Chain A
Amino acid sequence: MKNQKKNRIWLGISASPGIAIGRAYRLNREEIKIREENLSPEQIEDEILRFKKALSEAKIEISKLKENIAKKLGPEHARLFEAYILILEDEFINQQIFTGIKEEKKNAEYIYNRVIQKTVQTISLSRDEYLKERVADIFAVSNRVLNRLLGIKQHTIEPLKTPGIIVAHSLGPGDVVQMKKGNVLGFVTDTGGKTSHVALLAKSLGFPAVVGLKTFFSSLKGEEMLILNGDEGVVILSPDEPTLKSYEAKREKLLERKRSLADLTSLPAETKDKKKIELSANIELLSDVETAIENGAQGIGLFRTEYLYLASSDLPGEEEQYQAYSSLARKLHPQNVIIRTFDMGGDKFVQDAERVYEANPFLGWRAIRACLDLPDFFKTQLRAILKASSLGNLKIMLPMISSLDELLKSKELLEEVKSELREKKVPFDEKIKVGIMIEIPSAALEADSLAKHCDFFSIGTNDLIQYTLAVDRTNERIAHLYQSFHPSVLKLIKKTVEDGHRNGIWVGMCGEMATDPKATSLLVGLGLDELSTSPLAIPQIKKIIRSIEFDQARNLVEEVMKLNNSKTIEKFLDEDYQTRFSNENSIGA
């Protein structure tokens, strides 16, 4: 009768947000039973071969899984499976197996299981929760090998007869990837933690999940109604009517909000009086592209190429860069992608011997300054961009420009690369647009002359504020002096827009200010043509743009420009924002 009790609440760990309501599907899996067997001397060689075969078959499986995930979620997620392959190929482990089989004359699965268990024990001794969760990664690999040795078919997740919630003792990343949206509503496991790869995948794929429920699986008969609350890490077993009703309402509300965002996605980013604003996304990783498109980005306003370096820990070569840029160009076509050339400290580009300590790295040898000093390095990046530009939707953006000289030198290098490519008859976009970041006060002050030599401006507010106010934005003691709405900063933005427009080029913004809902009216009023924000902020910013009258926004700018104190300005903008959006200031953020 115990199971009849209504509303039994199980507390677990929230692995992936969202609410799912449905019947439980218990995932019964053949248990791995390891038997100890003695071998005769002549069987030993075959046993070693059998083990090697299991390894190579498991490797093929994992490689396939890796490709699958790379296609679905991007190469960063696929990295995990490189670690899996390294585990399979680990000499430290495999040598112990070979010796074990030979010396003890026992079967491969027995020896393998023992070595793995011993290794896992050592790792489990760690006090670090995160490392403990890596045990799941090792088992995900070793179970594959053991299944092969025991002739057990690798588990697959078959589609459920009716949509439901999967309940399992444990699941691996390979299982989650096989789940079909709409068929699997969410999943619950006894094992696992917040940072397990299963949790990360569930989040990326949008399955609500609660893990670490310890004994839930064995206490379940199957077919029971469940409420899975992934936001709070709670599962309610056999909920009563009122609980069910309240959760259904809650889920409806969430879906409603999602739908209204989706509706927004197809609407243009324009003011009530039809002034269009190009609303695009700042991204760092190729896998951010999907999020950007889902949220209605009209292109990529800033692709931070230095992350190619950070992600691969090696300076990316021409081919690797070309692959990244052309994949972006293809995914976004016909929308535009603005590729910003490497923006990082110069020490990253050179051999250790040439590294120099800098007292003020933010004022030092970085971004365009380092690139111009290392023309071969810079030309490699320009060549990769040009080669990927044939579709005609790539643009080049130069960071940290402080004078016309740097812009002209960069363009000279670009011309050199172009003529080299022409000679080799490599196709590229002859009319590729070149713009610059306006993030140094000298560039804003010289905007008029810079505008005559480039095709667009994009204002980087983070650095512009830091350099204008002489405030190191990483220094906490002066954090209060870092004021986004300082009148001097707003004047520089205003001047940049005016000078750009006078010379017939468009002016955008890719700094954090573009993502701040308080600033949107002001920025539209200042006449910015493009705002590039973090992907998740796009719906909210679009909503604000669609509520603005351009004329009113211009009046707002006039009022703000009369104020001479950043606190007053911020308060003024905040009040303006609150009066218009008092009920809904958290959409999509």
Chain B
Amino acid sequence: MKALKLIIQREYLTRIKKKSFLILTILMPAIFIGVIFLPIWLSGIKDSEAKHIAVIDPTGKYASHLQSSDEYKFDITDHNPGHLVSEGGSELYGILQVTDDLSVNPKAITFYSEKQAPIGLLSYINSTLSEVVKSEKLSTLSSRDNIDPKVLTEIREITQSRNNVSVTTMRWDENGAEKETSTAIASGIGGVITLLMYMFILMYGAMVMNGVVEEKSNRIVEVLISSVRPFDLMMGKIIGIGLVGLTQLLIWAVLLGVVSASAGTWLTSSGMSDAAPMLTNMELLFSVNWIEILICFLLFFVGGYLIYASIFAIIGAAVDNAQDTQQFVMPVTLIFIFALYVGIYSIQNPDGPLAFWCSLIPITSPIVMMVRIPFGVPLWQEVLSVAILYISIVLVVKFAAKIYRVGILMYGKKPSMKEIIKWFSYK
């Protein structure tokens, strides 16, 4: 027990004391935000020059409705140049050719270009011209005598109004009390937690593996093993590194608390007019059962980490150097990516059979269950999932310890899976 404590202490302190830990802890949220927002920002950058599109419209009814923007300039011409150079000599991006009355023949329009036309441009043309055709058809209707013009105006209003239906979601708890909830917020929480789990478990699992490989390849393990039981050495490493992970989470939680608290006071003090919708969002944020999420997060986070860290410890013990780990890491990562995808899919269908079963299977449950919990999961499922997870951990750790014990003292040839299984039976 004393040795275990010493190992945990060493693993924890040497890592926490490193400068890189502090830097990474602070930089990570920034990188995380960057990775999410950079592509959004980049996709918003427009081309510097507008693309010219020649519109040939013999009917004369449509071309004028296409508005030029910063991105596209619609030039109306009356004959097809046949090639992508306009009369002024500047290069044309494409030619839009209307050949017939679109209200009669809606397919009588073609876009010619050298490159595949972008979706944004096509949907703009489609939606604009559809509206034109729609109102044109309504106008034709109004010319008939048997229809009251008032009705037509109403129809026009209805088709133009954009009042979409918005469903308010309410959840009943067992006592029948209802509260307003937000699917968007539940999905958001599920998504963030999934990513956090994925990142942490892989990162810290790999850290366990590299630690074992390091001890083995520089032979410190030979020195340690005479005074520490291999089980203590392995568990000490797994627990010590796990505590580093929890410390990092705690630092982030504190940072997040400070940032959101200061943002809150700034909002109320500046008395911003758009603070009202923000406040309803905040209320919705509090409608989620945070205590349940927090408890489950800790349970599944620790459980998921323990199970994967044990597997990574086996890999570390089986090989001699860092290069050889790849072959064994691959399948583990694949399983993990599978869990991540099931998790993302579960956001759309949190109670589907795939989500349900994968939230019980211990290697996928930490991720998948955490996606489902913000949407509300029956207590028995949560308890069952946690129970299965922790029973599996005991078994996996026992198995890992047996393999580890033999593996750390084996040098030379990289063992095959079969040989590793055989180690299990060694005394």
- Chain A bound to chain B: no
